[in-house]
Chains A and B, each alone.
Chain A
Amino acid sequence: MKLPTLRIYTIAYLIFLYAPIIILPIFAFNNSTAVAFPLQGFTTQWFGQVWADPALREALKNSLIVAVSTSVLSTFFGILAARASTRYSFPGSGPVLGLIMLPMVLPEMIMAMALLVVFLSVGIPLSLFTIILGDVLICTPFAVAILTSAFQSLDRSLEEAAQDLGEGPFSTFYLVILPLVMPGIISATLICFTISIDEFIIANFLGSGQKLLSTYIFGQLRFPKNVPNIMALGTILVGVSIALLSLAEFFRRRGIAKTGAKDTGGFL
């Protein structure tokens, strides 16, 4: 089936996938509040307005606090779970891992509502902290998935060799294991950061009204005159996301090159 139709189809599909992302910057620089053709000329005023908006700065600050905390915590939890599941065999590892990975396949709304109910009944006040807890829950499975493949590609005998050559468990970890899985750790951190920045449902329902970037954007959508601002902001966010992902991909590949392993593709 080496037909050019397949290639053409795939490229058409990629255009469909990228359409919203490509349209975004076009209208972010368009000198009109109406998002429609024909284009009205080049402007950077929307970016200026975005920069000048104090509510947005607040949202950005909150989002950064949440995303940084989430990525660090999720990666930490991910390291523990991935290391435990790849290195040790222990009773109940299947169900435990299943529970940890469950958020990947549960509708987010259900998780958010269940968490909300518990926070309210236990008396934990909603805040950025509760958003972080929810985000960590969502991100940890992704971190575990990435780190598991990083830890799996580690040859067990490397660890034994380090021990055989006189290193204890702790120095073996930081001299051998850590350098080899570091690319995985970095890429897990970046992915979790990206997920957390984009996350809407948790931010909307588990916060106490502080705006994050995603909820701020969602709120602005009701006002048509703010639409170009959102497009400018969206352009920045998409640009940052792509930059972070490229970085993550770079580290993932470097990790593969370092260990001389075969590239099996993608993050997931």
Chain B
Amino acid sequence: MTVTTDKPTMIEFRDVHKYYGDYHALRGINATIKAGEFFSLLGPSGCGKTTLLRTIAGFEGISSGVVLIDGKDVAGIPPNNRPTNMVFQSYAIFPHLTVEQNVGFGLRKDPRSKEDKARAVDEALAMVGLSGYGKRAAHALSGGQRQRVALARALILKPKVLLLDEPLSALDKKLRENMQVELIKLQRQVGITFILVTHDQEEALVMSDRIAVMFEGEIAQLDDPETLYRLPKTRAVANFIGTMNFLPAKIIAEGAGKVEVEAQGFGRVILDEQKQVTGQTSPGGCTIGFRPETATILFEGQNAPDRESMATVEEVVYYGDMTYYDVRLDGTSEPMRLSMRNTFGRPVLDIGTRARIGWSPGALVMFR
């Protein structure tokens, strides 16, 4: 999942704005998507991610700015003349046609012979694991099969970019997880750019090379999954991707690439400005953040790896393999969420228990 910066640019947005009447749906999108990349647009519903995808496909015009596909400004080019194909959220399988006719729909103007086209359809069906389903009526398919037909139908046209609009949201959990893996394999196999729209952060993290997190018509952060998770640029991004605990803090001293802060409950810590400080510089207060799995409850006989603070258990949520604790550090007002793996022999603590919390300054993030 490393970003290869030497790959050529496939799609570029330059200051793209989009209005619906008075509603400002896209507010100055700037981004580049590389060739062969698995790229995700992630955000809550109404954030503009689907609108942005549809500007690539050509279903939405833009109010200002430029969209380039493979170096070419696509303004005014209708969807049927763009080198992109789409897998729709509802799959949009033509209900009056068979599976075969659906997959071969886009080949109508293809100059190849009938036999060649039929072979192409068979190959496409084989690629998505639906060999032998060609003669079936489309409306008789299951959700997962429909999705495969939609994929085959789009990929048979050998697009430069495949657009996927929440393709897994209609599937149940098990099937969704299987399809995630299959989609990743498929993308590696065909090697073209995949752009996925999703509101499921886990799905985005699992599948993508890079993710653009969008809020209210803007890209809040565009990074690879690990950076997004470890060093979110804003508290909103940190909260949207996983869970993060926040502690109010004060900057004590700054210099030589280090920042010393005084955090409620944790005391004084020194952070690496390069690796641990995020967001724009703003004077005065700052916030320290840490993920639930980066701090731990120290059970009897365990020693802190680095630093130790005292806390009280306020809430216990038992998940089987995991237990989530809400603990309140001494000297703080808000509880922090910790996640503990229920390894053998480890007890589940009761509410009200006093506990030692072990943590390390290296796992903290500072938001300016």
Q: Which residues of A contact B (CB under 8 A)?
A: 155, 157-158, 160-168, 171, 175-176, 179-180, 258-260
Contact = CB atoms under 8 A, between A and B. Distances in A.
B243 interface: no
19 contacts: A157-B92, A158-B95, A160-B57, A160-B59, A160-B86, A160-B88, A161-B88, A161-B153, A163-B58, A164-B86, A164-B154, A165-B105, A165-B157, A166-B81, A166-B109, A167-B80, A168-B80, A176-B94, A259-B139
A166 B80 CA distance: 4
B157 A166 contact: yes
* 10 smallest beta-carbon distances between A and B, as pairs: A165-B106, A260-B139, A161-B92, A157-B92, A157-B88, A163-B79, A259-B95, A166-B80, A164-B86, A179-B96
B153 A165 contact: yes
B180 interface: no
A165 B108 CA distance: 9
A161 B108 CA distance: 14
Nearest to A182: B96
B265 to A, nearest CB: 51
Contacts of A179: 96
B105 A162 contact: yes
Contact of B78 (A161, A165, A168): A168
A166 B139 contact: no
Contacts of B88: 157, 160-161
Contact of B89 (A157, A158, A167, A168): A157
A161 B86 contact: yes
B90 A165 contact: no
Contact of B92 (A160, A167, A171, A258): A160
Given A164-B80, A165-B106, A166-B157, A258 B96 contact: yes
B92 A158 contact: yes
B51 interface: no
A166 B92 contact: no
Interface residues of B, number: 25
Given A157-B89, A160-B59, A260 B80 contact: no
Contact of A258 (B85, B95, B108): B95
B67 to A, nearest CB: 16
A165 B157 CA distance: 8
A168 B109 CA distance: 11
A140 B108 CA distance: 36
Nearest to A162: B105
B268 to A, nearest CB: 57
A166 B106 contact: yes
Given A157-B90, A163-B79, 9 more contacts: A160-B86, A160-B88, A165-B105, A165-B154, A166-B108, A180-B95, A259-B95, A259-B139, A260-B95
Contacts of A176: 94
Contacts of A259: 95-96, 139
Contacts of B85: 164-165
Interface centre among B78, B79, B86, B108 (most CB of A within 10 A): B79
A259 B90 CA distance: 13
A140 to B, nearest CB: 27
Contacts of A164: 57, 59, 79-80, 84-86, 154
B104 to A, nearest CB: 10
Nearest to A260: B139
Interface centre among A155, A164, A259, A260 (most CB of B within 10 A): A164
Nearest to A169: B78
Nearest to A255: B96
A164 B106 CA distance: 8
B96 A180 contact: yes
A158 B102 CA distance: 11
Interface in B65-114: 78-81, 84-86, 88-90, 92, 94-96, 105-106, 108-109
A160 B94 contact: no
Contacts of B78: 163, 168
Interface string B238-252: 000000000000000
Contacts of A180: 95-96
A248 to B, nearest CB: 19
Nearest to A180: B96
Interface in B25-81: 57-59, 78-81
Contact of A167 (B90, B95, B96, B108): B108
Contacts of A258: 95-96, 139
Contact of A160 (B79, B108, B157): B79
Nearest to A257: B139
B157 to A, nearest CB: 7
B80 to A, nearest CB: 5
A155 to B, nearest CB: 6
Interface centre among A163, A175, A179 (most CB of B within 10 A): A163
Nearest to B140: A260
A163 B84 CA distance: 11
Contacts of B108: 166-167, 171, 175
A166 B108 CA distance: 9
A206 B366 CA distance: 84
A168 B79 CA distance: 9
Interface string B97-141: 000000001101100000000000000000000000000000100
A155 B86 CA distance: 15
A161 B157 CA distance: 13
Interface string B304-344: 00000000000000000000000000000000000000000
B139 A155 contact: no
A176 B96 CA distance: 8
Nearest to B86: A164
A161 B96 CA distance: 14
A158 B59 CA distance: 13
